[in-house]
Amino acid sequence: MRTPSRAPVHRVLIIDDTPTIHQDFRLILSGSRNRASFAEMEAALFGSESTRPSGHDFEVDSAFQGEEGVERARAALKEGRPYSVAFVDVRMPPGMDGVETVERLWREDPDLQVVLCSAYTDYSWEEVTQRLGISQRLLILRKPFDSIEVRQMAHSLSEKWELLHQDRERMQELELANARLRQEAEERKALESQLAHAQRLEALGQLAAGMAHEVNNPLSFIIANLNHVCRELTARQSQEDVGELQEACHDALRGCERIRRLVQDVRIFGRSSQAPTNPVDVGEVMTEALAMASIAQVPGLRVVKELQAVPPALADEHGLGQVFLNLLINAAQALKGKGGPAEPVIRVVMAPHSDGRVKVEIQDNGPGIAPEHLGRIFEPFFTTKPVGEGTGLGLSICHGIISGLGGELTVESQPGQGATFRVLLPAAPVRSSRSSASRPAEQVRQSLAG
């Protein structure tokens, strides 16, 4: 025997000071439920198919004063079972009247559909709309009311209330879906930007490596010839204008040496994406970098070291040392001539990161980096130093080396509050002492690199 689906049960609140009115509403609105129960009993006894009346079932609650009705509506909302329709009498002495009750009900539950019941002309329609506004949530029912009219109102307003909530749920789902789409679009845009940036750096690295190779050969020839000229001039010191020519040669040699350093930086930049091969003691590399940085040249500089024990990182020792040295030198240069009473401080922090990587931070309390420069700080050939004091490749090389190691190099800075460069390195795989003791050294190195 097929049992039809049950119609939704809606809660209806009757607010009236006359008990017989409540009885009438219950007979009208609960009649379908009584008829349905009888139909189900008949089907069970005679084996016929249950023909349940169509439409909504109603759960009817009563309140005999406006204050009680408002409290019931508030409690229903709190329970998560709000009323869909309220039939409210206009006259309910000695408490507040129906219009004020409706005002209070809508403050508690703006979605509540209301039928205002009146046997007298207590308020004109203009007065009602002046206080309650013209609203699709409000209908007027004159007493004595007809049962069919009451049932139609209850069904129509309940269905309207249900559709309102369904539409709201659909709108919330659409908003969530739109938010997810926007987030996915932003993530896709960020990934595309990162990919494009990586492709530009890769192309630039290839170009830089080729250019460095092409420049290095004629540059070596020029330097060799200038050195020869300088030696010849030194041997002919008795001739006139030799001193001037020697000075010119030395100036040319200094310029060539600067070009050579630039070429060396370009070559390093071109191969900075090489994958790491060996586990490296990060603490040892940092100690050597601190010894080589010549940061003592900054008067009154204090170096604070917070070096915790960290696992070995899978890295290139030379490249990692160059990164630490470059970041330390940059921090020291940022502190030269720093004004104000605060002493110049470089803080070096090394600790395990929460995700298992190795974290290294180099902080300074210098003037910081301007916001308009912060987004370009790792771009090749971008520098804030005066002309002749930097090539603009130092931080680009550092970023390329760390990215090639599978790590991250980021910077945080506020004007006047210094800068923090943060390096995150992948930890080297843990080697099993039992298995490594039984394998050749070359196999151990290969397993660590893999």
Strand boundaries in 241-357, DSSP class E: 278-280, 302-307, 313-315, 345-352
Determine contact, residues 331/362, Cβ cutoff 8 Å.
yes
Kindly write down the DSSP assignment for every residue of 87-99, as one continuous string.
Answer: EEES--TTS--HH
Q: What is the C-alpha separation between 83 and 74, in angstroms, rounded?
A: 10
Residue 310 has phi, psi (to 5 degrees) of -130, 155
Residue 24 has phi, psi (to 5 degrees) of -65, -45
What percent of the chain is predicted at pLDDT more than 90? 28
91 in the Ramachandran plot: left (φ > 0), alpha (ψ -120 to 50) or beta?
beta
| More confident position, 197 or 20 | 20
Instruction: Answer whether residue 46 shows pLDDT above 60.
Output: no
Residue 186's identity, in one-letter code, is E
Per-residue pLDDT of 227-264, as tens digits, reads 777 777 777 665 556 666 767 777 777 777 767 766 66
Q: What is the C-alpha separation between 417 and 338, in angstroms, rounded?
A: 12
Q: Indicate the pLDDT class of residue 340, thresholds 50, 70 and 90.
A: very low
Lowest average pLDDT, out of 111-120, 128-137, 373-382, goes to 373-382
Sign, CA torsion 422/273/255/383: negative
Q: What is the C-alpha separation between 335 and 331, in angstroms, rounded?
A: 7
The number of C-alpha atoms within 13 Å of 132 and in the hemisphere containing its C-beta is 28
Lowest average pLDDT, out of 22-26, 40-44, 157-161, 374-378, goes to 40-44
Q: Indicate the pLDDT class of residue 396, thresholds 50, 70 and 90.
A: confident
Instruction: Answer whether residue 426 shows pLDDT above 80.
Output: yes
Mean pLDDT of the chain: 78
Query: Strand, helix or coil at 348?
Result: strand
Instruction: Answer whether residue 320 shows pLDDT above 50.
Output: yes
What percent of the chain is predicted at pLDDT more than 70? 71
Q: What is the C-alpha separation between 227 and 365, in angstroms, rounded?
A: 44
pLDDT of 211: 65
| More confident position, 64 or 393 | 64
Provide mean pLDDT across the span 122-132.
Answer: 77
Q: Indicate the pLDDT class of residue 89, thresholds 50, 70 and 90.
A: very high
